[in-house]
Structure 1
Amino acid sequence: MSFIIDDTDIPEDDVILFSILYSCVTVVFAMAVLSKFLTNEFRFGFRSALSLAVLFLGEPLCQFFVKGPIGVVCFAVGCLLVYSILPASHLPVGNKAVLITGCDSGFGNALVAKLDSIGMQVFAGCLDKDGPGAVSLRHSCSDRVHLLQLDVTKDEDIQAAVSIVQAHVGSEGLWGLVSNAGVCYIGELEMISEWITRKVMDINLFGAIKVTKSFLPLMRPAKGRIIIVSSVLGRISFEGYGIYGISKHGLIAYADTLRQEMRKWDIKVSLIEPTGYATENTSDSSMRLKREEIWDTMDEQTKATYGREYLDEIYNNLLGIFKMLPDDLTPVIRAMRSGLLSKRPRERYPCGAGADFVTYIFGLLPIWISDKVTMSMSAMPKTAKPRIQMIQ
């Protein structure tokens, strides 16, 4: 049995009518997608590629293989379904207020400037509110930006920030919370001291948890948004990034659980998962300081096993890699803005070239294959070997 209808089965007048209907659906769909592109709601990626595929392949397939009114309906429904998965339009800014942690540099600093430019009230939490990053914000932003001294590991800083924000937002509540503060140390797990491990966990994981819990009472009246900045390394393990990856794995579990628990309060939770970007965390000066911290806190047996040359080679490799990282933070800032203001925010926002594909495909690969892939991309020395020594 064939479902292909011969052209002779359809009167010529009907063929012309259906062609007009196809054209109308195509124009409406194309204009709707174009408007989203022009308003910066999405950039070329999987969903935009799907839109183009439906637009250029859907019409001829329906017109020549399905035909008739059923073909027009199938094409229209297909366009509607694809449009429904595209990013939603944004909510009006109004009097919405947002607290951002880690605004001294990088993503946090750039997000403050962006949200201020669209008229939002921003509370910028800085590790040092008199440091260079905070000073640059003070000089470049409007009086809608309030700089706060906020070390996410200090309870007194968090409580002081809560009091200041509460005094400003009143009964309207806090619309957005962006947990962005983070730090990255790179080195093999055996080389990382307990002191550095606790430092990374306190900032990246426990800091986000404490800040979120403290500000939830202010967020319930606004029924707003929580944005948690993780990393693709929270889902893909790389040799040498173990401590950082563990903290980001924890953030993913926290965000996924929080998202479910906040539904009863109409608070939406989104997870930002960037790839590598050039920020203060990856600068030469920051990396050299962290290398010294790792060496200084390493126990004598581990120093004897690996040697200073091995650690130096790791960081020399990293400095070369980090120089190639993109310094345009726009994809991450756009994702954060979408999480805060989209009418239908996504649960996860992989950011960076190929981030969607990489995070998806790694979950499908056998472990032995994914291990080979990540190890081939690792900054760990490929030739130099640790100095294995017998314990006397």
Structure 2
Amino acid sequence: MAELLTTTPEELDALAERLEQVEAYLHLDEKRERAADLERRSAEPGFWDDGDAARELLAELSRCRGDVQTFEDARAELSDARAALELSDELGGDEELVEEAAQAAARVARAIDEMELSSWFTGEFDHGDAIVTIKPGQGGLEAQDWTFMLFKMYMKYCARRGWKVTVNDCPAAEGIGIDRATFTVEGADAFGMLRAEAGVHRLVRISPTDAKKRRQTTFAGVEVIPVLPDDIDIEVSSDDIRVDVYHASGPGGQGVNTTDSAVRVTHLPTGIVVTCQNERSQIQNKAACMQILKARLYELELQKRAETLDEIRGPKTEIGFGNQIRSYVLYPYQMVKDLRCGHETSNVDAVLEDGDLDPFIVAYHRWATGNADAELAE
């Protein structure tokens, strides 16, 4: 029999205090006024005369409304939790009402986590879309399989959050797994959330390819860069790129189609190579390649200016021992642990099979924000 969830008035008071803090530092009164102003402007004659400006205004209006609505929903949930708990007391401790209150309290806590997380996203691209690339590191065939496992984990995570995913490139490797994966994620705060995943991921398990069933440690690297907004234009000369086309294929070796639709774009001055084979036509795949190439060239320019990649994806390190940000141990015990913030769980299936990454991402950003505040205080 499943254990009943419980909560207490003191726990609800603590949530109420956190909710008040969220209302203050998200400046929700200002956002309510801003939303009202934007609504008035969107109803004015000639609003759509400048399409780009209109879309930008509507996007801001949507964000303001979303922040306010999330807060109001959480406050209503908290009120429902208090009512259920009080009614339970009046009825002599009704367990169903206590569990109902606990479930509502859990939803409030998750909503507060989301709002706190959004408030930490102060980077230029944090609220936008992301391009994620996964590559095998040390470990040979095992690393290729590990890359595919991570790819599936992120697909599940994106689905949980309701984000749209476009797989740009995911060629099958020889033997098992994949050579790499590149995909674009569209959704609220996608880049801000996923930049917590940038770095080296380590897997420890019994090797499925080893007849002696020995323990194997393998690595894969995750890169996360932002999709550039339309108002940032990166010029790429046609003389600086080489475009190659070839047959597309997917994980497991199945053919996507029988034409030369896959595209590889090489930027000759920098040596950056981007491949895309998800779309049915060369034109679509080339367009996707150019979007990713421009994002990587922008990142490279930031690196030149600041002499660091920390703004976008963290320092560049070898995908191997000593550089991991998170360990996934399946044997001799089961544990997933983030080595930066210390968050861990023994429920590895929830992480790898179900894509339950929010606790890790929230914990990382809380840790990173705390470190940044400490540095400012010094």
Same fold (TM over 0.5): no
TM superposition score normalised by structure 2: 0.27
Q: Which structure is higher in helix share?
A: 1
TM superposition score normalised by structure 1: 0.27
